[in-house]
Structures are given as structure tokens and as C-alpha cells.
Structure 1
Amino acid sequence: MSSVASQVILHPNVSKSLKVLGTNLGRDKLYRAVQYFARFLAWYLVSRGYKVQGARWNALKSHLALARKLMRLGKPIEHLQAALRAAQIAAEPGEQITTICRQLGYFGYLTYDTLVWANAIKFFNFKPSTAEKVSKNANRLWLAGILFSITHGLLKAGRLANDVRKLQNAHLTEKGQDVDRDAKLGNLYNARDATRHQFIIDLLDVWIPASNLGFTNLNDGVLGIFGLITSLMAFRQQWLAVNGK
């Protein structure tokens, strides 16, 4: 019995999971996945008349959302630093501008989101109208950050496609150039895959703040599925970053 328990507890995948969950990003993406699954399931149960069971999952969704806001305290500064670093490096103008705007959007979003958390735990006591304005500003900035991220992805994807085409059509005249070209192509392919991965996440996530602001009328079931998919995609990305491919 102890041998079986040891094999389970000390299994390599368990150790890898602990490494991922030992990072703030890993825990956040896992909590987010559960949060959006709970959002979907609450909608599904309530829509079929199971209000008591739906309320249980809705409560889980709300508490996880609040917990994630606490975990993100201080994160606005990370995005502000990223914006400043992006402004200091040489890059394609369009990509540089959209990167800076994206990071500033996320900085503003998470700053307002901190106020939403502070009001939720009664550290601040905003008037209902003020609380609504703070929440709307958070969602506006979140939406702006994602839209700039989508624009950045389109610009970067276009540049990478051109770079790949140029390398593939280049005429090699010296020995060893083919090896160098293959290495460069490999780096471009990796960058392209990462850009596409983030682009898919952004295309799904953009509907969440858009719906919160009333620009679309997608129900919680659809938004829950979108959030679950992007959370699992981001969690897998963090898994590979921590444990290697």
C-alpha cells in the first residue's frame, strides 16, 4: 500500500504540477480555469432550473474571482515596467507602439481592478455609482489592452511571414549558410507559433470585457467556455515554461 502511495505522490507529473503551482502565474491560471468552468456550470444549471446547485457554483466563481484579484496586487507595476522597457528598445514602430499601449492598458486595468477588490472586501466603501464607474473603467482598459494585443499580433505575424519568405527565397553562396538559415527559420517559426497562440487567446478573451461593458450579449455559458479554454492554454504555456518541452 505504501509503495503504491509513494508511486502516486512521487510521480514525475505530480512533481511537475507542484513546480507550476509554485508560481503565481501557474496558480492564477488554474484558479481562472476553475472560475470560468464554474461560470459556465452555474449558467447551465440555472438555465435548466437547478437554482440551488447553480448558486453553489456561482458562489465559487465569485470567490475565485476575488481571490485572483488579491493575487494580482502589485502586478500593475510589472506591466508599467514592461511598457517602459518596450519604449527603450529598437523595434518595428507599429509593434513597439501597440506593445506599449497594451502594457499601459493592462496597467490601468489592474490598477482599477485593485480598487474593485478593495471595495469588495470593504477596505474602501465606494458609493454604488462610484463602484460602477471603477468597474467600467477596469473593463474599458482591459478591453483596450486586448485590442492592442490583437493589433500587435497581426502586425508581428505579418512581419514574421515576410521574414520567413525572404529566408526561404534567399540564395546561399557560402558553405554553412544553410545551417545558419535553418537556425534562423527555427527561431522565426517559434516566434510565429507563440504569436498565434497569444492571438487565439486574445480573440477569445476579448468577448469577456466587451460583454461586461454591454457591447455584446453573449451569455455566461459561452463566456465561461471561452475563459476556460484560454485559461488552459495559458496554463499549458506556463507548464512548458517551467518544466520544459
Structure 2
Amino acid sequence: MSSSQIVAAQDNLNRVVRFMDTTAGRDKIVRLLQYSSRFFGWWLVNNNRLDLAKKFSSIEAHASMARKVFRLFKSIAHLQTAAKTWMQETDTVVSLTTVIQNLSLAIWLYYDHVIWAHKLGLIQRDLAPLSRKSNTFWLIAMLCGIAKATYLIHITQQLAHTTTKADMVESLRKRQSEFSLELVRNLLDLPIPVTSLSPRLAAVFPTGLVGLCGTLSSLIGIHQVWSKIK
């Protein structure tokens, strides 16, 4: 192995360490484990391998609980983002979608924390209405994210057509790619709260499909976090 390859390998290893050192990075990895376990568990059930399916179901449950710990107090950051956007953002569409999205995420996390506390036995609550409220606000946040990403893709497309500077066009195309990836991620995540809220749609979207969508969106999330690690 040449010295340049050794340096490249060391740089990649350092980047992996920095990625795993972030809460977002660890959360995305555990999320991938959670939804891939849901998919494989469904596949194993459909292939009559029930004992192995139970193991994947257990992995999914433990991964879900671990992610609830990662998300503790994250609602504060969403409230801060909502307040900052409301005061500083001049684009009305971006402002409204971002504020509603982050407020909805903060409320979703509140219910998520209550569910977590109940599952630990710290408090006693009726999980059914809590789950409905949690998924409702998560769905609202997702729809706002879809609307914002679609709008920003349109805006950057218009700007790219009107500018003649090559570096500006390249920058706009890069941003457009990022917005498109965010749009795809939110669209893939849509079946998760929707199937929890609607039994009819749950029949249309089997558990395996929801797990597969969650797995793909998790891979996109890993890529998004990874791309920010220098």
C-alpha cells in the first residue's frame, strides 16, 4: 500500500470516527438498524421463519427505544430553529413551512418522550391517543418539509435559468440536489406515520414496505450527515 493510500485510509477512518461521534450520526445508524429489522422480520414471517423473525422484532424494539434516548431534549433545538426562522427569514413560504415544521417536530418529540417514559414504567398513560397525536404532528412536519423542499427546488431552478455565472449555476445545482434528496427522504418516510394513523392505508402498505421505505430514507439520512463531516 502506497503512502497516499495510507493517508486516504487514515482520513476516511478519521471521518468515520467524527461521524460516529455525532448524535445525529449514531441516530441514523440505529434508525437504519430499526427499519431494516422491520423489513427482514416481515420477510421472515412471510417465509415461515418465525423464531428468527422474533429476533429481528426484538432488535427493532430495542433500536426504537435507543433512538428515543437520542432524541431527549431535541425539541429545544426545534423550538430555537422555529423562533430564529420567524425573526430572520424573509421568504414567506420558507418561513411558514420551517416554523410549522419545527413546532410540529417539537410537539411530536414531547409525545415521544411521554411514550418513552411510559414504556420505562416511570409513568402510566394510555398509549393509543399518545401514538395518534405523535404520528399526527410527525406527519404535519413531514408535509411541511415536502412543501418547503418542492418550493426551494422550484426557486433554485428559476435562479439557475436566469444567471449566467458558471460558479453560481454550479452552486444552485448543488443546492437543488440537496433539496431533492430531502424531498425524497420525506416522501419515503410518509408511509410510517400515515399507516399508523389509517388502518385502511396500513392494509395497502404492508409492514415490509414501510420497513423498506424507512431503510432507504435512513440511508439517505446517513448520507446527509456524512456529507457534512469534514
Task: For residue 124 of structure 1, give the secondary structure of its aligned residue in structure 2.
Answer: coil
- The residue number in structure 2 matching 1:235 is 222
Which residue is 1:160 aligned to? 156
2-structure distance, mates of 1:111, 1:184: 41
Q: Unaligned regions of 5+ residues in structure 1, if any?
A: 1-6, 169-180
Deviations 1:108-154 (A, max 9, x none): 1111101110111111111xxx2211111000000000001101111
- Per-residue CA deviations over 1:71-118 (Å, capped at 9, x if unaligned) read 100101111111111101132211211111111111111111011101
State how far apart, in whole Å, the 2-side matches of 1:89 and 1:11 are.
41
Q: How far apart, CA to CA, are the structure 1 residues paired with 2:68 and 2:170?
A: 38
Q: Secondary structure at the match of 1:122?
A: coil
TM-score normalized by the length of structure 2: 0.91
Per the alignment, residue 225 of structure 1 pairs with: 212
- TM-score with structure 1 length normalisation? 0.86
Quote the residue 2:41 is aligned against. 42
Match for 1:212: what amino acid? S
Matched AA of 2:131:
S
42-51 or 209-218, which moves further after superposition?
A: 209-218
- What is the CA-CA distance between 1:12 and the residue it aligns to? 4.1
| Partner secondary structure for residue 216 of structure 1 | helix
Q: Which residue of 2 aligns with 1:4?
A: none
Q: Which amino acid is the alignment partner of residue 137 of structure 1?
A: K
Cα offset for 1:54?
0.3
Unaligned runs of 5+ in 2: 1-5
The 2-side partners of 1:153 and 1:216 are apart by 25
Cα distance in structure 2, aligned partners of 1:44 and 1:59: 15
- Matched with 1:151 is 147
Aligned pair partner of 1:191 in 175, 192, 197 = 175
What does 1:92-107 align with in structure 2 at a 5 Å threshold? 92-107=91-106
Q: Which amino acid aligns with 1:116?
A: I
- How far apart are the structure 2 equivalents of 1:12 and 1:155? 37
Deviates more, 1:228-237 or 1:20-29: 228-237
Amino acid at match of 2:211: G
2:84 counterpart residue number: 85
Separation in 2, partners of 1:240, 1:188: 17
The count of corresponding residues between Structure 1 and Structure 2 is 220
Q: Say which of 161, 166, 176 aligns to 1:182.
A: 166
Q: Which residue of 2 aligns with 1:216?
A: 201
Provide the C-alpha distance between the structure 2 equivalents of 1:202 and 1:83, rounded to a whole number of angstroms. Answer: 19
**Residues of 2 paired with 1:48 and 1:42: CA distance?**
10
In structure 2, the partner of 1:3 is none
Deviation at 1:11, TM superposition (A): 4.7
Deviation at 1:199, TM superposition (A): 0.3
Partners of 2:190 and 2:130 lie apart in 1 by 19
Per-residue Cα deviation, 1:40-84 (whole angstroms, up to 9, x for no partner): 011011111111110010000001001100110010111111111
* In 2, Cα distance between equivalents of 1:194 and 1:11: 27
Structure with greater Cα Rg = 1
